């Protein structure tokens, strides 16, 4: 609180009582979110995910392998063409001050459903503030541009070869001596025709002789001069572009000019914020909830929960006993059953604004918290202490100086990416030891904040200097959790545990699931390079290590398993019930691959020699069914 008051006194030395009260209230509101024992949650640390190289040229590589009569698609060269997923407006291209260059900490506002929170992210690249990576690159570009341009050995121009060929062919035709030679080479047929024509034509006719000479003499071709200026090519490096700029202007390039070039024409701003539309594209995807909520009242009641397996089985359109994600989505998106929804929550993460952009940012944050009744005043974010519908200069000053609700350290290492890590260094009172989880397998830190699970991660790929930041409402709040192996399918065996998996969301233990209990996870990602969109476009991983080893059954078992779920159901089994019961030793109404192997072992026959006919007697019906299965 003393720190916040000092900031306010510095802003207004008159010490207005109103300002001090506002500062105290804001400080108390921020400190109230924190807990004295931050060690209960922090530190939590996970490694940074290393993404493979960008796949932007895969389509072109594939086109080169095909015989297509069309030009290759031109590659974008400007940031607007290369980075359509990020905000590149003019207000994102401001030049950093000296203090900002040496400050590795960014202060952000994350607009969670309950209320916005303050986040501090200390980001370093190779142990230095992240902005210094671009500055080191600028210095390297200036040094390279000052060096002489490398000599480029070009192959002989095609026009030179044409000139040589023309010279050797056309020169002899231009000399009078060669005219006789050319005449001697005329064929006998041509000579006879000429002699007949000469007999019929009058002797010593000048006009006729001139026409004959014109017909036998080839026109003289103009020699083609060699090019004196090399063909223009795009600069391969930024240093070459700067070198050309210096040659054209006659003046040495400055640091600001190279920085402007990188920002506006090459790589874009140093700090890249994800586009708003990208943050909302998956926000309303709730297929499981919509399928189970049969009456569309916004709650999965106890009866609907008990009927969940039957509701899933109705989505099995191809009747293969497997319910796939796409089949669930088809039912959930039925316009006859779907309730109208808004476009999504929109932007979730903001930088602390300055006075010029504070009004616009405040309106966008306030839009995240609508009122139940349209006529009521909008709910104001907790940072607007005087409730005047904007962030005043005094409130901004307190906001910049107040202690954050969450503090992160993201250390990127371009030389050894295995040492790059993201770590929570301080957390607030809305977090507890039981609500925090750091999983190295998923590369994410999951925190429960105000009833919403927030997943933090970091990614990097290659060597680049921009820092990208994005947050998305991940959608699909239930689907990844209830799919144990995350393969996009619900088999018969998996559906048997569906109700137990759904009850994990029942936080108040009332036997039903509400919208609040099934809120979608919000994912926040920090990236070295423009790569956070590649991480956030995919669904989050919940059970990456839950896949159990797959047991391969004998050949007859594989042939019977028509839907490929590694189980043979009674619908797939071609034999009689008593034979099915003989194989189903655990009496779960499914023959597993292990049970099939055990059956072959009991009968002392290798699995490779086993036949389906051993299981079922060779009656007429069974033989026909086995033939169809094979």
What SS3 class is residue 419? helix
**Is-contact 539 474, C-beta < 8 A?**
yes
Per DSSP, the residues of 103-150 read --EEEEEEE-SS-EEEEEEEEEETTEEHHHHHHHHHHHHHHHHHSPPP
- 296: confidence class by pLDDT, cuts 50, 70, 90: confident
Most confident of 5-9, 293-297, 593-597: 593-597
DSSP 550: P
> In the structure, what pLDDT confidence band is assigned to residue 19 with cuts at 50, 70 and 90?
very low
Structure confidence by residue, pLDDT tens digits, 380-396: 778 888 878 888 888 89
Q: Domain ranges in the chain? A: 285-341+487-514, 555-629
Select the more confidently predicted residue: 377 or 605. Answer: 377
- Give percent of the chain above pLDDT 70: 70
pLDDT at 301 over 90: yes
Q: CB under 8 Å to 490, separation ≥6 — which residues?
A: 312, 322, 323, 324, 482, 483, 498
Q: What is the pLDDT of residue 156?
A: 53
Helix (H, G, I), strand (E, B) or coil at 58: helix
Per-residue pLDDT of 79-131, as tens digits, reads 888 899 998 876 656 677 788 889 999 999 999 988 899 999 999 999 999 99
Dig out the tokens for 174 from the structure: 């231009």
Dist CA 195 CA 231 (whole Å): 54
Angle CA(216)–CA(219)–CA(223) in degrees, nearest 5? Answer: 145
Provide the residue count of the chain: 630
What pTM, to 2 d.p., does this model score? 0.74
Quick check: 440 and 109 in contact, CB under 8 A? no
Amino acid 211: pLDDT: 62
pLDDT in tens, 197-241: 444 444 555 555 566 655 666 667 778 888 788 788 888 889 999
pLDDT tens digit string along 131-169? 999 999 999 999 999 988 877 655 554 444 444 444 444
Average pLDDT over residues 253-276: 90
| pLDDT for res 367 | 81
- Name the residue among 319, 449, 392 with its Cα closest to residue 34: 449
**16-20, 182-186, 599-603: range with highest mean pLDDT:** 599-603
- pLDDT value for 363: 85
Quickly state the pLDDT bin for 532 (edges 50, 70, 90).
Answer: very high
What is the rounded distance in angstroms from the CA atom of residue 31 to the CA atom of residue 67?
66
Instruction: Give me the half-sphere count of Cα atoms (radius 13 Å) on the Cβ side of residue 622.
Output: 16
**pLDDT averaged over every residue in the chain:** 77
Q: Rounding to the nearest 10 degrees, give the CA dihedral for residues 320, 326, 332, 334.
A: -90
What is the rounded CA–CA span in Å between residue 395 and residue 118?
Answer: 14
- pLDDT, residue 427, reads 83
364-383 burial code (b ≥16 CB/10 A, e <16) = ebbebbeeeeeeeeeebbbb
- Contact between 607 and 618 under an 8 Å Cβ cutoff? The reply is no
Report which of residues 266 and 191 the model is more confident about: 266
Q: How far apart are CA 165 and CA 159, in angstroms?
A: 10
41-50, 142-151, 551-560, 614-623, range with the lowest pLDDT: 614-623
Position 184 scores a pLDDT of 45
Higher pLDDT, 100 or 441: 100
């Amino acid at each position: 609180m003393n720190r916040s008051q000092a900031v306010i006194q510095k802003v207004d030395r008159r010490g207005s009582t109103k300002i001090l009260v506002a500062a105290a209230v804001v400080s108390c509101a921020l400190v109230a979110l924190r807990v004295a024992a931050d060690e209960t949650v922090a530190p939590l640390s996970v490694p940074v995910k290393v993404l493979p190289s960008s796949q932007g040229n895969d389509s072109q590589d594939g086109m080169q392998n095909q015989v297509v009569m069309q030009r290759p698609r031109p590659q974008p060269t400007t940031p607007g063409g290369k980075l359509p997923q990020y905000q590149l407006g003019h207000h994102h291209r401001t030049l950093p001050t000296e203090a900002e260059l040496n400050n590795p900490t960014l202060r952000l506002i994350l607009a969670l459903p309950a209320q916005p929170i303050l986040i501090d992210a200390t980001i370093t690249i190779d142990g230095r503030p992240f902005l210094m990576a671009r500055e080191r690159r600028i210095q390297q570009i200036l040094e390279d541009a000052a060096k002489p341009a490398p000599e480029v050995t070009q192959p002989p121009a095609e026009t030179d070869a044409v000139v040589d060929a023309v010279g050797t062919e056309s020169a002899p035709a231009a000399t009078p001596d060669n005219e006789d030679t050319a005449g001697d080479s005329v064929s006998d047929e041509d000579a006879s025709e000429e002699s007949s024509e000469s007999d019929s034509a009058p002797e010593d006719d000048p006009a006729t002789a001139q026409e004959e000479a014109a017909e036998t003499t080839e026109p003289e071709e103009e020699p083609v001069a060699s090019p004196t200026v090399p063909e223009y090519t795009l600069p391969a490096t930024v240093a070459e572009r700067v070198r050309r700029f210096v040659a054209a202007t006659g003046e040495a390039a400055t640091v600001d000019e190279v920085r402007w070039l990188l920002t506006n024409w090459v790589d874009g701003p140093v700090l890249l914020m994800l586009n708003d539309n990208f943050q909302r594209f998956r926000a309303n995807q709730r297929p499981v909830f919509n399928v189970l909520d049969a009456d569309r009242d916004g709650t999965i009641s106890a009866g609907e929960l008990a009927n969940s397996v039957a509701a899933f089985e109705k989505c099995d359109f191809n009747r293969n006993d497997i319910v796939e994600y796409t089949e669930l989505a088809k039912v959930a998106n039925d316009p006859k059953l779907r309730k109208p929804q808004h476009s999504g929550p929109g932007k979730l993460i903001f930088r602390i604004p300055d006075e010029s952009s504070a009004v616009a940012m405040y309106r966008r944050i306030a839009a995240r918290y609508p009122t139940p009744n349209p006529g009521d005043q909008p709910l104001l974010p907790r940072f607007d202490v005087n409730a005047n519908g904007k962030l005043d200069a005094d409130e901004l000053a307190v906001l910049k100086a107040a202690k954050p609700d969450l503090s992160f350290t993201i250390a990127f290492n371009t030389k050894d990416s295995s040492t790059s890590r993201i770590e929570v260094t301080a957390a607030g009172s809305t977090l507890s030891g039981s609500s925090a989880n750091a999983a190295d397998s998923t590369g994410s830190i999951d925190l429960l904040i105000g009833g919403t699970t927030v997943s933090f991660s970091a990614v990097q790929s290659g060597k680049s200097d921009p820092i990208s930041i994005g947050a998305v409402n991940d959608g699909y709040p239930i689907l990844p959790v209830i799919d144990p192996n995350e393969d996009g399918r619900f088999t018969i065996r998996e559906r048997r545990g569906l109700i137990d998996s759904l009850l994990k969301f029942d936080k108040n233990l009332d036997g039903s699931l509400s919208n609040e209990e099934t809120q979608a996870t919000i994912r926040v990602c920090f990236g070295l390079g423009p790569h956070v969109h590649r991480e956030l476009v995919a669904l989050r991983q919940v059970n990456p290590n839950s896949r159990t080893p797959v047991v391969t059954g004998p050949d007859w078992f594989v042939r019977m398993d028509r839907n490929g779920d590694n189980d043979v159901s009674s619908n797939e089994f071609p034999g009689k019930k008593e034979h099915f019961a003989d194989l189903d030793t655990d009496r779960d109404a499914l023959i597993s691959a292990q049970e099939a192997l055990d059956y072959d072992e009991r009968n002392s026959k290798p699995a490779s020699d086993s036949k389906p006919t051993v299981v079922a007697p060779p009656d007429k019906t069974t033989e026909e069914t086995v033939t169809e299965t094979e």
